[in-house]
Structure 1
Amino acid sequence: MDAMRNAGVRPGAACTSTWFARVLGLATALILAAGCTPPGVPRKASGSDVAVPSPADPEAQAMSEVLAGEIAGQSGDLEQAMVHYLRAAELSDDPQLAARATRIAMFAGNPGDAAVRAAQRWLKLDPDSIEAHQTLALLYIRKGETDAAVEHLESVLRLYEGRKGHGYLAIAASLAKEKESGSALEAMRLLVERHAADSDAWQALGILALEAGSPRQALEAANRTLALDPDRTEALVLRADAYQALGDLDAAIRAMRQAVQAAPQDFDRRLRLGRLLVQAERYGQARKVFQALLKLRPNDETLLYTLGLLNLQARDLAQARRYFKRLADVGGQRRQEAWFYLGQIAEEQGKVHEALRWYRRIEPGEYFIEARGRMAELLARQGRLDEARAVLARAREQVSSTAEGVRLYLLEGQILRDAKRYEEGMALYNRALTEYPGNEDLLYARAIMAERLGRIDWAERDFKAILAADPDNAAALNALGYTLADHNLRLDEALEYIQKALQLTPDDPTVVDSLGWVYYRMGKPEVAERYLRKAYGLLQDPEIGGHLVEVLWKLGKRREAGNILRELLRAHPDNDALEALRRRLSL
């Protein structure tokens, strides 16, 4: 790769001055002249020969250094390119050449004397160059010479004289690019303190402070701006941004409301107020703000999308549908999202055929897999399992990535597992693993399917295949341990797997549940109770709850066991395992 291009300069074209163009022309002529005539053979003069300057001529020397610098840069040797360009800059009176030498020195990782020397030469040749002053300020900041940097920033202000506020904003924009943001911010602060009565200065400092990740300093600067100029409403926006960065959303909203009141026709401010209200979870107020904005821009995709989501959050499905339908009709970039949410709303309303119609429209992209998964599940619920599988099989033909292909296989496998068609599920996963050999997600899913069929040896083999590739896979450790415990097999070994999983994920309720269950299988119901209560407290899952009920029943705490089981059945009336437990305990 061309290092000179990476330095932001194109060989032979970056310096556009007449002198530099002439230098390159002369350099090319020298190369041609040297390359076409063998050493020692005199050339005949002709009227078309290029007059080559004397080596004593500074322009000729500069030309040679530029040529050497270009060749070094083309070869990727920026250090040598810098050396040659620095020499050329000292020989030439062209400020653009000095500017190029400065940039090469900076890109070569030489922010010290070489880059400063080149920039000083640049400034000497062009004393009114704003860019030269800004560059020297940055170089001095990097060297830790803040006072010297401030002097050059003062020069920038002088050169912007007559354009109120522009100088400070230009300085802030330049310093915002500096990696050493703390040092740059300190230089800006010193500059502003010299102009403490200027509200423009404080506003620019606040903007830079926010960019540099110093919201408290930004807030202070916004307040100083408003103290000097109470009518400066952009300082209210800065104050709101600072409060938001500090995490004080209430104060941010108050400040942004003030900014909106000061300029009620400012669309951007009202939009930002709406977003702040959403962030603060004041959804009702946010809806009013976005509805007012939509009157100004009826076909704005972002507004329609946001209002659709806000109404979904408020469970106003009719209104949400209206906004997403309008969004779909606009036909912009969010059309696919609109169709997806229209499908979800139809599902919520029990309109299965309408939901399928919306989902079917979605093309490969961000929402494609999920939409096809929803279609398959809806069809499966209607007993149309073959159609559901066909939807997912067609979808696999339309995707190209491994992740998408695997996910579609997993969705089909889940549908088969829910339908208790375990043999077909095993066949599906066998085929999938032929296509994606060694995929951990598919191995895990096949192991679960094998366990349903009572093929514990197969399940164990797949879990161990995962652990061979990833010994710290907590999910596989937990599943293997739980499978052994649930089938009363090698309980000490099962305990070791689960304990290791717990070390890796100490707050995972499914792992805590497995630990309680293995202790129950080992004949330690008191220990099991402690872990199962903790697991159920973390996650009111029917399987975890069922385990807790069984252990409490074993310990004679039958009233509590019955109460928990009844609560679980109310929440999960179609859970076969809970119903079987109720019958077994005669509750």
Structure 2
Amino acid sequence: MLAAALACGAASAQSAEAAAAPEAPAAPVENSSLDAPMFYQLLIGEMELRAGRAGSAYEILLDAARRQGDEALFQRAVDIALQARAGDQALAAAKAWADAKPLSVAPLRYQTQILFALNRPAETAVPLSTWLQKLPVMERPGLITALPRLLQRMPDRAQALALVEKLVAPYQSAPATRLPSQLTLGRMHLANNEAPKALALAQAAQASDPASAGPALLALEMLPATPAAEAVVTAYLARPDAEPAVRLAWVRALTQSQRYAEATPQLEQVTRERPQLPDPWLTLGALRLELRQPREAEQALLHYVELAQAPKGADGSAAATTPTASRPATAPDEDDDADGDAESGGSATTGLNQAWLLLAQAAEQRGDLKGAEQWLAKVDNPQRLIEVQARRATMLARQGKIKEARAMIRAVPERTGDDARAKAMAEAQMLRDVKRWREAAEVLAEAAGRFKDDVDLIYEQAMVEEKLNRFAEMERLLRRVIELKPEHPHAHNALGYSLVDRNVRLPEARELIQRALELAPGDPFITDSLGWAEFRLGRHDEALRLLRQAYGARPDTEIAAHLGEVLWAAGQKDEARRIWREAQARDAQNEVLRETLGRLKVGL
């Protein structure tokens, strides 16, 4: 109001000047309701605040707000108390504001937020309920949807759920608020570890509004722990008007479970519907690379590079016309200065560096080592130096230049302890790639001595020990991983699979693998291990079901070897040969596939 008074004075002066000019008659003056005593009260309050006496300023301005009934003054008093970290005084001012202005929702919002800040969530029921009642009908769904976020700081999840149930009860049948009420209750049940109730609410919400993306997004939050939620997601994505953002979220869920074969067609659909969005092309390239489809990966990655370097539209998509991705894989020398303005670490440069690394990997898969080096030369990010040098070292090692490869990794500067650990992991992985198991074991053992109880290092040690047929040491290391990190799915799976592969302690192996699958539902490699265990236990039908599921999610060569063997044993030899041929076309040098075909004396 002080600012308004000063502005009013300035306006009056300007009006007087305008009145002096006969050609411009003065506009009518609207006098402020601010009288002299109130003016000086506000002035004194602001002066007290400027002098560092926040308590006195708060009292003066709150009194002025009560006497004047002005919302801006109430808010000023609340803000002064909050800045002074006087939560109780801020709450008192917000309550006085609500009493003075019963139709206003702003003081109710302040009360709610202050109560949460004061860790008094149980007292929020009244202001939240009143806030919901006073909101316009069209704004009410937004607040209902925001309730889980508002209440996430409540430590007692059951209490938070009970509060939300009470708050939304009056709105569950109204058309405008039925869907947000169902989704909000679903999220609260999920936060309270009641996934079946959350799923039932997501299903009910989808039945009431099949076109809404909300039920699918809620179902995605339940994955992978609640596989039945997939049906809600896939039902929504079957609609022609499904939002690409939901499809991309589904892709993320699939890739986190390594279900790359299922994720790929989803991404392909996104790239057809929104071809100017760069990021889906990058992800598609990475997935195709994982599926050992280097040429298809290159096409997608080159699309990404062209889009990432093109001028951007308002929605973040490329403004240029759809690229053709017709550049050959041997053209990595083109000028890439288009991202020069983002060298400070922007997302465009980050994505391009990732694309260069993936293109290098694709070229390497095709045997084009010169092209791979050209792509690596484009990576201009010190943070990725170890990754780049490790890639170069692996290419050297595959040419038999082991000494030079190891020296290349070891020459990378170590700025932090994490760099030293990353270098050890990179060197060990390079040695594993060329089957130098003993040297890899030495590197990992030395690193494990420097980084005590590092779960990842111990796990990698165990994998190398298995290759050296030192199974007792492998088991000791894996059990140490499980001791340090009981929820480590791959340690359970690796130990179980090793037992199955050696055809020993099969019931124990099956229990270990089942526990791994509980920790990582849907993981195709763990599903493959369980299928292999069932086969060794003589349960051929269940083995075939599991292995088909695993291969459908990720057509990996080793999974194909197992599935083919079970089909062969079941007399389905034509299908077995077909699957083995597919696998051989992707990776003819795979040891598991070659051993399987040799042992069964099968020629393709």
TM-score of Structure 1 vs Structure 2, range by shorter chain: 0.5 to 0.7
- For 2:272 and 2:184, locate their aligned partners in 1 and report how far apart those are by CA, in whole Å: 35
Contact 1:111/1:143 (<8 A) preserved: no
**Aligned to 2:221, what secondary structure does the other structure show?**
helix
Q: What is the letter of the counterpart of residue 131 of structure 1?
A: A
Task: Sort the Cα spacing of 1:247 and 1:413 in 2 relative to 1 into closer, same or farther, 3 A.
Answer: closer
Q: Which whole-Å CA distance do the structure 2 matches of 1:86 and 1:209 have between them?
A: 39
> Following TM superposition, by how much is the alpha carbon of 1:298 offset from its aligned partner in structure 2, in angstroms?
2.6
Map of 1:96 onto structure 2: 72
Work out which of the residue numbers 463, 466, 475 in structure 1 matches 2:449.
475
Contact 1:199 1:225 in 2 (8 A): no
Partners of 1:68 and 1:353 lie apart in 2 by 73
Tell me, yes or no, if structure 1 residue 121 matches structure 2 residue 126. Answer: no
> In structure 2, which of residues 116, 136, 140 is the aligned counterpart of residue 167 of structure 1?
140
Correspondence 1:64 to 2:44: yes
- Tell whether the 8 Å contact from 1:196 to 1:202 is kept in structure 2 after alignment: yes
Indicate if the aligned counterparts of 1:243 and 1:251 stay in contact, CA closer than 8 A: no
The one of 387, 403, 410 aligned to 1:370: 387
CA displacement at 1:255 relative to structure 2: 0.1
Give the aligned partner of residue 209 of structure 2. Answer: 232
TM-score norm. by structure 2 comes to 0.53
SS of residue matched to 1:298: coil
CA deviation after TM superposition for structure 1 residue 233, in Å: 2.7
Q: Counterparts in 2 of 1:372-391, with a 5 A limit?
A: 372-379=389-396, 382=399
Do the aligned partners of 1:308 and 1:323 also contact (CA within 8 Å) in 2?
Answer: yes
Q: Work out whether residues 207 and 238 of structure 1, in 8 Å CA contact, stay in contact via their aligned partners in 2.
A: yes
For residues 293 and 241 of structure 1, the distance between their equivalents in structure 2, rounded to whole angstroms, comes to 21
Task: Tell me how far 1:306 sits from its aligned partner.
Answer: 1.7
1:304 CA drift (Å) = 1.1
Superposed counterparts of 1:414-425, under 5 Å: none
Higher relative contact order (CA 8 A, sep 6+): 2
Farther off after superposition, 216-225 or 335-344: 216-225
Q: Could you tell me which runs of 5 or more consecutive residues in structure 1 were left unpaired when the two chains were aligned.
A: 1-14, 24-51, 419-444, 450-462, 464-472, 478-500, 516-528, 542-569, 573-587
Q: Does 1:348 align with 2:349?
A: no
CA distance in 2, matches of 1:412, 1:220: 45
CA-CA distance at 1:96 after TM superposition = 0.6
Question: Alpha-carbon deviation of 1:382?
Answer: 4.8
Corresponding residue for residue 246 of structure 2: 269
Q: 2:109 aligns with which of 129, 134, 138?
A: 134
In the other structure, the counterpart of 1:198 is 174
Provide closer, same or farther for how the CA distance between residues 327 and 263 of structure 1 changes in structure 2, counting only shifts above 3 A: closer
Structure 1 distance, partners of 2:180, 2:430, is 62
Structure 1 segment 299-310 matched on structure 2, within 5 A: 299-310=276-287
Given that residues 339 and 361 in structure 1 are in contact (C-alpha distance below 8 angstroms), is that contact kept between their aligned partners in structure 2? yes
Aligned mates of 1:199, 1:226 — CA distance in 2: 17
Residue 230 of structure 2: aligned partner: 253
Q: Deviations over 1:176-234 (max 9, x none)?
A: 34564456654442121123312543433455456666276797578558758834136
> In 1, are the aligned partners of 2:298 and 2:362 still within 8 Å (CA)?
yes
Q: Is structure 2 residue 296 aligned with structure 1 residue 319?
A: yes
Residues 267 and 280 in structure 2, CA contact (< 8 A), matched pair in contact too? yes
Over 3 Å counting, the alpha-carbon distance change for 1:247 and 1:511 in structure 2 is closer
**Aligned-residue RMSD, C-alpha:** 5.2
Higher alpha-carbon Rg: 1
Supply the distance in 2 between the matched residues of 1:532 and 1:260 (Cα, whole angstroms).
48
Task: State the secondary structure of the residue aligned to 1:315.
Answer: coil
2:375 maps to which of 358, 362, 365: 358
CA 1:234–1:21 in structure 2 vs 1: closer, same or farther (change >3 Å)? farther
SS at match of 2:172: coil
Shift of 1:254: 0.8
Task: Summarize the alignment of residues 162-561 of structure 1 with structure 2, pairs less than 5 Å apart.
Answer: 163=138, 166-173=139-146, 176-177=149-150, 180-181=153-154, 182=157, 186-208=162-184, 214=191, 220=197, 223=200, 227=204, 230-233=207-210, 237-238=214-215, 241-242=218-219, 244-245=221-222, 247-332=224-309, 333=348, 334-379=351-396, 382=399, 401=415, 475-476=449-450, 508=458, 532=473, 534-535=475-476
Shift of 1:347: 2.0
Q: Quote the offset at 1:253 in angstroms.
A: 2.0
Of 294-303 and 337-346, more deviation after overlay is shown by: 294-303
Residue 18, structure 1, aligned to residue 4, structure 2:
yes
Q: CA deviation at 1:242?
A: 4.0
Secondary structure at 1:367 match in 2: helix
What amino acid does structure 2 have at the position aligned with 1:18?
Answer: A
Secondary structure in 2 aligned to 1:65? helix
Deviations 1:49-75 (A, max 9, x none): xxx986xx2442243123212432xxx
- Shift of residue 125 of structure 1? 4.6
Question: In the superposition, relative to structure 1, how do residues 330 and 155 fare at CA in structure 2: closer, same or farther (>3 Å)?
Answer: closer
The amino acid across from 2:46 in the alignment is V
Q: Judge conservation of contact 1:98–1:119 (CA < 8 Å) in 2.
A: yes
Relative to structure 1, the CA distance from residue 82 to residue 227 in structure 2 (aligned partners, 3 Å threshold; closer, same or farther) is same
Secondary structure of the corresponding residue to residue 145 of structure 1: helix
Indicate the SS of the match to 1:323: helix
Q: Count residues in correspondence.
A: 401
Cα distance, 1:20 vs structure 2:
8.6
d(CA) in 1 for partners of 2:425, 2:363: 21
Sequence identity of aligned pairs in percent?
20
Q: Which AA in structure 2 matches 1:309?
A: A
Asked if the contact 1:395–1:408 (Cα under 8 Å) also holds between the matched residues in 2, the reply is no
Deviation of the 1:384 alpha carbon? 7.4
Displacement of 1:340: 0.8
Distance 1:406 1:298 in 2: 41
| Secondary structure at the counterpart of residue 129 of structure 1 | coil
Q: Which amino acid letter does the alignment assign opposite residue 148 of structure 1? A: V
Cα distance change of structure 1 residues 295 and 535 upon mapping to structure 2, 3 Å threshold: same
CA distance in 2, matches of 1:322, 1:345: 10
SS in structure 1 of the partner of residue 275 of structure 2: coil
1:559-583 CA distance string (max 9 Å, x none): xxxxxxxxxxx979xxxxxxxxxxx
Q: CA deviation at 1:296?
A: 1.9
Counterpart in the other structure of 1:145? 123
Q: Distance in 1 between matches of 2:301 and 2:360?
A: 10
Q: Distance in 1 between matches of 2:39 and 2:2?
A: 16
Identify if the C-alpha distance between structure 1 residues 220 and 63 changes in structure 2 by more than 3 Å, giving closer, same or farther.
farther
Distance 1:387 1:240 in 2: 50
SS at match of 2:302: helix
Q: What is the distance in 1 between the residues matched to 2:67 and 2:96?
A: 10
1:555 equivalent in structure 2: none
Scaled by the length of structure 1, the TM-score of the pair is: 0.54
Question: Structure 1 residues 221 and 105, CA, compared in 2 at 3 Å: closer, same or farther?
Answer: farther
Match of 2:329 in 1: none
Contact 2:172 / 2:182 at 8 angstroms: preserved in 1? Answer: no
For residue 373 of structure 2, give the secondary structure of its aligned residue in structure 1: helix
Question: Kindly tell me: are residues 284 and 153 of structure 1, through their superposed partners in 2, closer, same or farther at Cα, counting changes over 3 Å?
Answer: same
CA spacing shift, 1:128–1:512, aligned 2, 3 Å: closer
**What are the within-5 Å matches in structure 2 for residues 34-73 of structure 1?**
57-72=37-52
In the alignment, is the contact (CA less than 8 A) between 1:202 and 1:224 conserved in 2? no
Q: Matched residue of 1:361: which SS?
A: coil
* Letter of the 2:80 counterpart: I
Structure 2 Cα separation of the partners of residues 531 and 170 of structure 1 = 58
- The CA deviation at 1:140 is 6.0
1:65 counterpart letter in structure 2: G
